[in-house]
Structure 1
């Protein structure tokens, strides 16, 4: 069964009612079973569960053989430019602390694979009590619906000792958040471009970056974007 990311989300959330479900994390070795109360394993376990669920439901997908390379899953196994799915998880009480993408790698990838900007992020928010996790919410979002501005730069990033490492999410689900997520992919690209101009290591090589990304996007999709 071939599903788009939106159809997969609908099946998972509306049909299978995943929100509110509970899971217990245990580890067994030589007849000794222990309860796992560390959050370190939750993300990988939820992604493995999603993979098993898709197999059980006979949903077509292909898993990326390199877990360090985007995306986690291809939902269209014949056209790997569309229906790309990345899975993220976070502790609902602590807020989204995951990375959307490595800053340099993402910017460079858009020069050759600009269609990546249309990828979907499936995000699980969980609450953990002891070894039991509860799924508090699930979202399906584009990167521009997760990313937003911040104080130092036009886009929120993780920066250490004046070096930008990763693009970080805003608190997109909060009405009280100071910085709201972007409304369009054009806003996101504009903020990314302005950040590259402000960031010293990319400032002097950024002259044609946006122009080349837009050209590559049109070559892959046939769609011309207007980014100011």
Structure 2
């Protein structure tokens, strides 16, 4: 069954009613079984559970064999430019601490695969208490709906000793968040471009980056983005 990301989200949340459900993690070796109460493996196991749920629900998908590369799943087997789905999860009590993407890799990928900006992110927030995992909420978002400005750069990043490593998420679900998510892909691209201009390591090579991304996006989608 071929589904879009929105249809998959509706099936998971509205039909299957995953929000509020509980689970646990156990491990057994020989004659000893233990309940896992640490959060280290929850994210990976939730993704494995989702993969099993896809199969149980007869949802068409292909899994990326390299867990370190984008995307996690391809929902459209016929069109590699569509149905790109990333899975993210986080401890709701701690807030979103995951990476949206590697900064350099993402910016470079948009030069040849600008359609990637339209990928979907399926995000699961959980709480864990005494080994019991509860699904607190689930969202389906675009990258610009997760990303936001920051006090240092026009887009929020993870920076260590002057080196930018990753794009980091906003607290998009909080009304009290100081920085709100971007309202459009155009606004997000503008912030990326301005960050690349401000960042010393990409400043001198940034002259045509945005124009190249806009051109590539039009070549792939037929849509001309109007980015200021």
| TM-score in same-fold range (> 0.5) | yes
Number of the residue aligned with 2:88 = 88
Residue 180 of structure 2 is aligned to residue 180 of structure 1: yes
Report the 3-state secondary structure (helix = DSSP H, G, I; strand = E; otherwise coil) of the residue aligned with 1:25.
strand
Number of the residue aligned with 2:116 = 116
> Using the alignment, how far apart are the partners of 1:6 and 1:70 within structure 2?
19
Q: Any stretches of 5+ residues in structure 2 without a counterpart?
A: none
Number of the residue aligned with 1:127 = 127
- Aligned residue pairs, count: 228
What whole-Å deviation, never above 9, does each CA across 1:53-91 have from its counterpart, x for those lacking one?
000010000000110000000000111100100000000
Number of the residue aligned with 1:16 = 16
Number of the residue aligned with 2:29 = 29
> Using the alignment, how far apart are the partners of 1:55 and 1:31 within structure 2?
31
What whole-Å deviation, never above 9, does each CA across 1:14-53 have from its counterpart, x for those lacking one?
0000000000110011021111111110011000000000
Number of the residue aligned with 1:41 = 41
Report the 3-state secondary structure (helix = DSSP H, G, I; strand = E; otherwise coil) of the residue aligned with 2:139.
strand
CA RMSD of aligned residues (A): 0.4
Give the TM-score normalised by structure 2.
0.99
Q: After superposing the two structures, state which structure 1 stretch, 191-200 or 34-43, moved more.
A: 34-43
What aligned pairs does 1:134-153 form with structure 2 within 5 A after superposition?
Answer: 134-153=134-153
Report the 3-state secondary structure (helix = DSSP H, G, I; strand = E; otherwise coil) of the residue aligned with 1:59.
coil
Residue 61 of structure 2 is aligned to residue 55 of structure 1: no
What whole-Å deviation, never above 9, does each CA across 1:104-128 have from its counterpart, x for those lacking one?
0000000000000000000000000
What whole-Å deviation, never above 9, does each CA across 1:125-163 have from its counterpart, x for those lacking one?
000012110000000000000000000000000000000
> Using the alignment, how far apart are the partners of 1:124 and 1:80 within structure 2?
25
Give the TM-score normalised by structure 1.
0.99
> Using the alignment, how far apart are the partners of 2:72 and 2:227 within structure 1?
28
Report the 3-state secondary structure (helix = DSSP H, G, I; strand = E; otherwise coil) of the residue aligned with 2:27.
strand
> Using the alignment, how far apart are the partners of 1:130 and 1:84 within structure 2?
35
